[in-house]
Structure 1
Amino acid sequence: MSSNRNTTRRFDPDRKQRIIDAVLDVILEHGVQGTTHRRVAAAAGVPLGSMSYHFRGMDELLHIAFTQVARTSSSEFVARLAQARNREEAIQAIVDIIAGNIWSTPRTLLLSYELYAFAARRPELTAIMREWMQASRDALGRFFDPLTCRALDALVEGMGIHGSVDPSLLDRKEVEDIIRRVCG
């Protein structure tokens, strides 16, 4: 007896990206350790089978998702610094990046914490972090020496992290004063 099932596949060109975006939402809610295929599929609104169709496993999905976070954050940092034409404008760009939370939104910060912790346990993922740091340092390198670039890169991330938990935030003038001290 032959079955004449009329099965049609729904064309869904955005499904893979929706899954990547959903894994980030699940990480925000449950952390990397609580992120499961089932939770991601539910958050993306896709069948569970889509997970294995688009990704070899959770490690690949996490790698792709964290790469997306790093590149997006890095590109916003680099874009703001690209507007600077001289050292003074670069200093103002760094103030904007820190005081204006250009990269350190609550979402990005929490995902960054998760990425750092996850990458610390999986050395193959530290390349994502190194790319992010290098892009920042390269953007800063148009105006500052390599050692100052390292300090400013760490300062931007550190002040963003501190700002996410410190109840007494620094104002723009205080941020600028700190940056000028680091720049000499």
Structure 2
Amino acid sequence: MAGTRREIPNDQGRRERILDAALDVVAEVGVHRTTHRRIAARAEVPLGSVTYYFATLGDVLHEAFSRMSDQMSRLYRQTLQDAAGPAEAEAAVVELIAGPAYVPEREMTLIFEMYAYANHDPRVATTTRTWLLRSRESLALHFPADVCQALDALIEGWPMHRAFSGEPLDTAVVARTVHAIVSAPR
């Protein structure tokens, strides 16, 4: 029986393509304008594939934001793990704040969308909290808990300010600020 479903190979990467497409759509039009149809078109899959893998649009968004936060957490962790000592750990934090790799423009847009959506979706709120805790655990490889909290606020907040101001960060100011927090008496 030529052409039967059994002869057609499964599309092993379809689910992941749908999640990646969901993030692309959110970055382009925002969560509020994201639809199953837009995701399917972007992933180049039939509309039914999206609803086959994900029961609701909320499920797609939750898993897509979880995937994004996992990927960014791995980069965050690796950047800090690669630091050999205190000076390199400070430099790693400066790189996370001011460097181009951790939060490029697309990811910054996705972070804004995730945070806003987390206010209305408990699962995405949990994903966001988990991401925050993983960030602090990564910082704890080199810094005490109170310093981790302050540094993580800088790592999250300063790129947001950069995104809205449209101006690059002064790396020397960032480095001095990070050093002041790290070396402050406790």
- 1: distance between equivalents of 2:43 and 2:91? 39
The residue number in structure 1 matching 2:118 is 119
CA gap 1:167/1:21 in 2 versus in 1, 3 angstroms: closer
Query: Any unmatched runs of 5+ in structure 1?
Result: none
Task: List per-residue Cα deviations over 1:114-145 (Å, max 9, x = no partner).
Answer: 10011111123221111111111111112222
**Does the aligned pair in 2 maintain the 1:77–1:102 contact within 8 Å?**
no
Match of 1:48 in 2: 47
Output aligned runs, 1:1-184, within 5 Å. Answer: 6-8=3-5, 9=8, 11-183=10-182, 184=184
Distance 1:29-1:168 versus aligned 2 partners, 3 A rule: closer
Measure, in 1, the Cα distance between the counterparts of 2:2 and 2:90.
65
State the SS of the aligned residue for 2:33.
Answer: coil
Task: Report if aligned partners of 1:137, 1:153 keep a CA contact under 8 Å in 2.
Answer: yes
RMSD: 1.7
Number of aligned residue pairs: 181
TM-score, structure 1 normalization: 0.92
In 2, the alpha carbon distance for the partners of 1:46 and 1:168 equals 39
In 1, the alpha carbon distance for the partners of 2:44 and 2:10 equals: 14
| TM-score, length-scaled by structure 2 | 0.91
Q: CA deviation at 1:5?
A: 9.8
Can you give the 5+ residue segments of structure 2 that lack an aligned partner in the other structure? none
Q: Is the 8 A contact 1:109 1:161 kept in 2?
A: yes
User: Following superposition, which runs of at least 4 residues in structure 1 exceed 4 angstroms of deviation?
Assistant: 4-7
Q: Kindly indicate whether the alpha-carbon contact (under 8 Å) linking 1:104 and 1:161 is maintained by their aligned counterparts in 2.
A: no
For residues 10 and 166 of structure 2, the distance between their equivalents in structure 1, rounded to whole angstroms, comes to: 48
Task: Quote the Cα distance in structure 2 between the aligned partners of 1:150 and 1:101.
Answer: 22
Letter in 1 for 2:65: F
Distance 2:72 2:26 in 1: 17
